[in-house]
Amino acid sequence: MNTDAMRPGSCGEAPAEEPAMSPLLRVRRISGYGVVVAVTPYLLIKIFWTFGLFLPHERMGENSWRAINAATALLAAVAVLSAMAFGRPWGERLPAWLVALPVWVGTGLLVPVVFLAPVLGPAAMARDEQAGAGDLWAYEQMLVMVSLVGIGIGLPLGLAGYAKARWPEALGGPTDYAERPGSTRQLQISLAGLVAAGSILLGVTKLYWATGGTLGIDPALRDERDMWWHLLSFSTGAWALAGAWGLLVLTTRRGSRRFLLPMAAAWISSGTLFSKPPTTACPPRAPTRSPLLSTRWRRY
């Protein structure tokens, strides 16, 4: 008997086909690798600045700026590791908090940037050019913006695919489901109501300021409000209101039949308010007249 004809891959039998990659795993891997590609320029620039190389202005050589750049370089490295965990089998064996916590902070920081970058990015470059920043900084800042937008898009998509594979109930199903004995739903609704009330108050205040309101702002600082200030205030207010809506829907189970949209709103909003406190959108105590006008952007 010719045993070769019985072996897979021999001339007597077609080679066994490898199992096709699921669409979910493909999304996870593409998003994860996309984040790695996007964050690499940002990480390299931050490393260079930490060591005093290619600085757009001599003030960025100060120890305080080097510490900021070193911290953001560390965050970029964490983003790379998190993105790699999304697409590799070992990522599903990591503790949940080790994956969720850095991505929660990262999405809170960067998802709003995706919407603000088309306006604030060019505005920052124009302000720095008018203030006399070096030509090299324009290219550096462009790389930073592209990296931030890429991470802001890739991290949430990678996490969504990762969570769907590891915790299918986290991104699917209806908001209304049967209660188990001993449920704490009433406590959840009460606590969510308190948090939502604070978020609504913050959101309404920020939107009022963003549209030109002055009540509650120091009169000496009103002239310092510029497009940056108004857009950042609007972004904070909008995400605060979105988070309040998502939290109330998840706890009261009214307003949306599906789980994903309110969960995403609450996730991004809470990460935004945690990673960028509301005070970050307040005007500075004194006007800045140096080539570092757009420091709020550069500290990302």
Residue-wise pLDDT tens digits, 127-143: 666 665 656 666 677 77
Helix (H, G, I), strand (E, B) or coil at 174: strand
Opening angle at CA 125, ends 271 and 46, nearest 5? 55
Is residue 15 assigned to a domain? no
Is residue 198 assigned to a domain? yes
Is residue 12 assigned to a domain? no
- Select from 126, 150, 171 the last residue of a domain: 171
Q: For residue 51, how many C-alpha atoms fall within 13 Å in the half-sphere facing its CB?
A: 6
Average pLDDT, the chain: 79
Is residue 104 assigned to a domain? yes
- Select from 154, 171, 188 the last residue of a domain: 171
53 lies in the same domain as 76: yes
69 lies in the same domain as 130: yes
Is residue 86 assigned to a domain? yes
Distance separating alpha carbons of residues 71 and 66, to the nearest angstrom: 9
143 lies in the same domain as 157: yes
Residue 276 burial class via C-beta count within 10 angstroms: exposed 0-12, middle 13-18, buried 19 and up: buried
Report the range of poorest mean pLDDT among 2-6, 191-195, 245-249, 263-267.
Answer: 2-6
206 lies in the same domain as 119: no
Is residue 295 assigned to a domain? no
- Domain limits for position 94: 22-171
CA 142 to chain centre: 18
150 lies in the same domain as 46: yes
Length of the chain: 300
Report the range of poorest mean pLDDT among 6-15, 84-93, 96-105, 227-236.
Answer: 6-15
147 lies in the same domain as 211: no
Is residue 293 assigned to a domain? no
46 lies in the same domain as 166: yes
Is residue 249 assigned to a domain? yes
56 lies in the same domain as 155: yes
The answer to whether residues 192 and 244 touch, using CB atoms and an 8 Å cutoff, is no
Residue 284 has pLDDT above 80, yes or no: no
Distance separating alpha carbons of residues 36 and 76, to the nearest angstrom: 9
- Select from 121, 156, 171 the last residue of a domain: 171
The total number of structural domains in the chain stands at: 2
Supply 196's token pair: 């939502």
58 lies in the same domain as 108: yes
Helices 227-252 and 185-210, axial angle in degrees (round to 10): 160
36 lies in the same domain as 156: yes
Report the range of poorest mean pLDDT among 34-38, 104-108, 128-132, 167-171.
Answer: 128-132
Residue 176 has pLDDT above 50, yes or no: yes
195 lies in the same domain as 164: no
Distance separating alpha carbons of residues 297 and 157, to the nearest angstrom: 24
152 lies in the same domain as 282: no
Closest CA to 61 of 71, 51, 70: 51
CA dist 230 to 182, 236, 280, Å?
Answer: 46, 10, 12
